[in-house]
Structure 1
Amino acid sequence: MQPESKSTPAPAGTPGSPGTPGTPAVPAVPAAASLARLAAPLLAVRAALGGFLMGLANLVPGISGGTMLVAAGIYPQFVQAIANATRLRFTRHSLLVLIIVAFAAVVGIVGLAGLLGQLVVEQTWIMYSLFIGLTLGGVPVVWAMSPKRDGPFWIGAAAGFAAMAALAFVQMMRVGEDGPDSSGFILMFIAGTVGAGAMILPGLSGGYLLLVLGVYVTILNAIDQTRQAVQAADWAALREPVLSVVLPVALGVFIGIVVIANALKFVLDRFPRITLGVLLGLLLGAVVGLWPFQHGVPPEAGEMLKGQPVVLVDDQLFFENTGRPVEPKDYPRQFFEPDAAQVIGSLTLTVVGLAITGLVARLGRKR
């Protein structure tokens, strides 16, 4: 016969022990609820910070919106919220993240679109030099994400570099030519789709892709014109920027988030090495299209610009077909030979941009 086991009673005064006077058991559920109540405001703060930084990042070619979300510690929640929303699985948590991130991003974009657009047009070599450093700073992010850098990784990197370099070369060959008007509905829709897909992935800059497509300044100006029209309650002035730029870009962003983001998630899950290799190649090839020493040159009356004749009326150039004034953003661009001070300044700004993105990426790795 086995001896009868005797349970040792809990010492008197032990918290949570049954029968102990004045020491009620600690309930698990209320404690979890308290943690949830504390976590919600912190989540909202991180979502607001990450959304605002993502908005700024999508305005600045070279800085990845996805990297900013990583740095804010909200990236996994944001990607999961998008996945839930595209599958119509709405929860309070996912809706909170999406709404706050989207609102904060819009605030950042609307607030600084006009300033950045003006700087890119008027201080091209300065801004492009900074963009080069910011773009190269995304390379370590993608490098660290790759689990194994073998044959498929390098094949993807070569393909990505060749594709981006070819696109950049085509854009550079158009410098000094009368390029087409970059305000078509289809082009704006494609730009929104590409930009949205890029903002999901850390290391890839949506702003740079818009710059290479030749629509970066156009989109920034349209956003700023919309802001000014709303502030002035000039609803008639909203028609042109909203219908020609803002609306197709917004539709493209929606499609990009729903379709491209899920497609990218699929290929990253199934083919991570080659996909990350392509991303690395895209970043390295992006620098080819950011040659900083170029500027806009005012056209002469009678020249063709964006497929339209330019006419001079009261010392002001206008497009003959549309009657729209010719602005600095419309000027054809030409390369110029920099002096020693510009070369040194360009290299310095490149290092500064590299340091900025490196610091952000370092913070993201800690998160």
Structure 2
Amino acid sequence: MRSRYWAVVARGMAMGAADVVPGVSGGTIAFITGIYRELLDSLSSIGPQTLTLLYRRGIAAAWQSINGGFLLALFSGILLSIFSLATLISYLLASYPIVVWSFFFGLILASTVPILRQIPRRSPSVFVCLALGGLLAVAVSEMRPAQIPATPLTLFLSGALAISAMILPGISGAFILLMIGVYPRVLAAVHELQLFNLFCFASGAAAGLMLFSRLLSWLMHRYVSRTLAFLAGVLLGSLKIVWPWKLPAGEVAAGGDKVAPLMSNTLPTTYASATGEQTYLVPALAAAVAASALVLVVDYLGEKYRSVHP
């Protein structure tokens, strides 16, 4: 059992590393590593009944009912990764952005293979859900930075929206906050310790996490084929967000005096001619292939383990 929790810590560290990269969701890593459904079920089990169980039967019963060991191991890994790997990943993203984005491109692309294989039944509605998931991710990628006032209500709703996006594979919560113009305000609240604003945002995140995890958990149990197809579509559509070669297509104010560049995808040859910079094509392809191989090997070992320990 202890060895399992160490494995969950490692998955949490991978999720934390992904969350550091803007545009990549930790939910994607949870899906790839096979803990997504358990994460949703564990989160959805937390509610008023937990307090009732705590009062009537004690800490041990309440802890077991919410799968506390799993959640503690996972979130410990996430926090450990954010605090220990954030500097390294930020450096790699600033120094070798094309290679890093290529790695995540291969990671996400290959992760759709085991997800699609898990779909138990094919039907027209399944293909419709696959298309809808792809369209949602593409629509998110086409969002342009806006600016909304930082009121208690908007901060609450922004927290709920961001955390819902964060647990949805393929969509980054930080990316959503940036697009609606709240990201700079949240960072300012953290740096300046604006406790009331942080409370409003955190309350919204907690409410969104509890509600959206319940919805996704219910869908995964009741409509597994359509839900898996929709999530696979979201992952495929999110490839547009993580495409490595991009060119600026204008600028839009994203809040305060900050200006966010609008980026458009382009071919490596066009990127090289427009910027005069290297395309890093060979390292990028190597990173994408390595990431794809990593996902497929993890999936193969997971299938082999499940066949031996059903």
TM-score (norm 2): 0.69
C-alpha change, 1:133 and 1:221, in structure 2 (3 Å) is farther
Question: Relative to 1, partners in 2 of residues 1:352 and 1:49: Cα closer, same or farther, differing over 3 Å?
Answer: closer
Is 1:100 aligned to 2:73, yes or no?
yes
Contact 2:12 2:76 in 1 (8 A): yes
1:195-344 matches, within 5 Å, as 195-196=166-167, 198=168, 204-207=169-172, 210-211=174-175, 214=178, 237-239=191-193, 250-294=202-246, 305-306=253-254, 319=257, 330-335=259-264, 337-339=270-272, 342=279, 344=281
Quick check: 2:107–2:295 contact (8 Å CA) kept in 1? yes
**Residues in 2 aligned to 1:122 and 1:181: alpha-carbon distance in whole angstroms:** 30
Please state whether the residue corresponding to 2:120 is helix, strand or coil: coil
Q: Which has the higher helix share?
A: 2
Partner secondary structure for residue 244 of structure 2: coil
- 5+ unaligned residues in a row in structure 1: which ranges? 1-38, 199-203, 227-236, 309-318, 320-325
Shift of 1:273: 1.8
Q: Contact 1:51/1:69 (CA < 8 Å) preserved in 2? A: no
Asked if the contact 1:48–1:100 (Cα under 8 Å) also holds between the matched residues in 2, the reply is: yes
In 2, Cα distance between equivalents of 1:161 and 1:128: 19
Is the Cα contact below 8 Å between 2:11 and 2:30 reproduced in 1? no
1:137 is aligned to 110
Give distance in 1, aligned partners of 2:213 and 2:200. Answer: 18
Aligned residue pairs total 276
Distance in 2 of aligned mates of 1:116 and 1:247: 29
User: Is the CA contact (8 Å cut-off) linking 1:55 and 1:109 kept in structure 2?
Assistant: yes
| Contact 2:170–2:238 (CA under 8 A) maintained in structure 1 | no
Matches within 5 A, 1:27-66: 39=1, 41-60=2-21, 61=24, 64-66=28-30
Deviation at 1:139, TM superposition (A): 0.3
Shift of 1:206: 4.8
Matched, 1:356 2:294: yes
Q: Distance in 2 between matches of 1:219 and 1:356?
A: 32
**Cα-Cα RMSD:** 4.0
Structure showing greater radius of gyration is 1
Other-structure match for 1:152: 125
Q: CA deviation at 1:127?
A: 2.8
Q: Distance in 2 between matches of 1:115 and 1:124?
A: 13
**Residues 294 and 124 of structure 1, relative CA distance in 2, 3 Å threshold:** farther
CA displacement at 1:154 relative to structure 2: 0.8
Partner of 1:17 in structure 2?
none
Specify every segment of 5 or more residues in structure 2 that has no aligned partner in the other structure, as ranges: 54-60, 306-310
For residues 77 and 129 of structure 1, do their structure 2 counterparts lie closer, same or farther at Cα, with a shift above 3 Å needed? Answer: closer
Q: C-alpha offsets along residues 177-218 of structure 1, whole Å, 9 cap, x if unaligned?
A: xx345995343541123213x2xxxxx2454x64466469x9
Q: Secondary structure at the match of 1:82?
A: helix
Quote the Cα distance in structure 2 between the aligned partners of 1:45 and 1:219: 33
Distance in structure 2 (CA, Å) of the matches to 1:130 and 1:279: 20
| Matched letter for residue 231 of structure 2 | L
Amino acid at match of 1:59: V
CA distance in 1 between partners of 2:210 and 2:41 (Å) = 12
